[in-house]
Amino acid sequence: MRKQIVAGNWKMNKTASETRALLEELQAQLPATSAGVMVAPTFVNLTGAVEQLGGSAIEVVAQNMHFADSGAYTGEISADMLADIGIQTVILGHSERRAYFGEDDALLEKKTAQAISKGMQVIFCFGEELEDRKAGKHFEVVASQLKNALFGLPDTAWGQIILAYEPVWAIGTGETASPEQAQEMHAFIRKIVADAYTPEVADAVTILYGGSVKPGNAAEIFSKPDVDGGLIGGASLNAEDFSAIVAAIG
């Protein structure tokens, strides 16, 4: 059975004290679950979050990482720095990194390869823009994002990959892909992974959906057979909402 995951991407939100407070609320409110639960505070709050959550089932993950081991890359953070403070998972390729910081498939291929070689788990984000979907190009766009950044990896790397399909038009807009649209794309993603690798690799990879997941729509989205959980933005900043979303996965 595939691992189910609910991950909160806090983006550029929450100061150190706000991070502490939200984590306290989450520890008090999160329901018991067999799914993995992750939170991704901003870089400066990772150490505090790891210390605060020590021994808890909530995993702290990073929102980004550089591709180099170390060096003259002002403002950047390396895999070793993350590993050293106890971070084992990193989000890469978020649409906001692609749109606002010029991250493209070639850069993401390097970042992913680096994270894999450092033994980290990667939550790899991708998804089409509204104009792609309107033009009927969403499958093509998603296939090329995966092929360009991931399909050079060896089979063995796929144990460290979590995919996160996030249609850009559904992020922060209140507009959610319908459960059927999510399922259709997730099944397509699994098929192209099976074609590029093996059915076993495709069957084992966790594929998350992201984009306006809320307490009111989570259960239906998570009920789809190829949807293995969610990457949650806005609703992950509220303990009650995030707890309800975790409860929806069962």
What residues are annotated to the active site?
Answer: 94, 166
Q: Count the alpha carbons within 13 Å of 66 in the hemisphere toward its beta carbon.
A: 14
Q: Does 210 bind ligand 13P (CB under 6 A)?
A: yes
Q: Tokens 């995030």: give the residue.
A: 242
List binders of ligand 13P among 119-178 (CB under 6 A). 166, 171-172
| Six-digit token string for 64 | 């980004």
User: Which residue, 229 or 234, is less far from ligand 13P as judged by CB?
Assistant: 234
| Six-digit token string for 56 | 């808890």
For ligand 13P, the nearest residue by Cβ is 233
In this structure, what is the dihedral angle of CA atoms 112, 203, 10, 122, given to the nearest 10 degrees? -20
User: Which residue, 141 or 201, is less far from ligand 13P as judged by CB?
Assistant: 141
Fill in the per-residue mask, 3 to 42: x = in contact with ligand 13P (CB under 6 A), - = not in contact.
------x---------------------------------
| Six-digit token string for 12 | 């550029």
Residue range at the interface with ligand 13P (CB under 6 A); choices 31-39, 103-111, 181-189, 206-214 = 206-214
**Terminal CA-to-CA distance of the chain, rounded, Å?**
15
User: Which residue from 182, 193, 213, 245 is in contact with ligand 13P, where contact means CB under 6 A?
Assistant: 213
**Where do the H-state alpha helices sit in the chain?**
16-29, 46-53, 79-84, 95-100, 105-117, 130-134, 138-150, 179-196, 199-204, 215-222, 239-249
- In the complex, least distance from residue 121 CB atom to ligand 13P, rounded to whole angstroms: 16
- In the complex, least distance from residue 41 CB atom to ligand 13P, rounded to whole angstroms: 13
User: Which residue, 201 or 227, is less far from ligand 13P as judged by CB?
Assistant: 227
Q: Does 205 bind ligand 13P (CB under 6 A)?
A: no
Rounded CA-CA distance 213/174 in Å is: 8
User: Which residue, 201 or 236, is less far from ligand 13P as judged by CB?
Assistant: 236
Q: Does 93 bind ligand 13P (CB under 6 A)?
A: no
Q: Does 232 bind ligand 13P (CB under 6 A)?
A: yes
Residue range at the interface with ligand 13P (CB under 6 A); choices 68-76, 79-87, 97-105, 229-237 = 229-237
Q: Does 89 bind ligand 13P (CB under 6 A)?
A: no
User: Which residue from 189, 234, 239, 243 is in contact with ligand 13P, where contact means CB under 6 A?
Assistant: 234
Cα dihedral across residues 244, 24, 52, 91: positive or negative: positive
Asked if residues 246 and 33 have their Cβ atoms less than 8 Å apart, the reply is yes
Return the SS3 of 161: strand
Which residue, among 90, 101, 155, 92, has the nearest Cα to 124 in the 3D structure?
92
Contact positions toward ligand 13P, by CB under 6 A? 9, 94, 166, 171-172, 210-213, 231-235
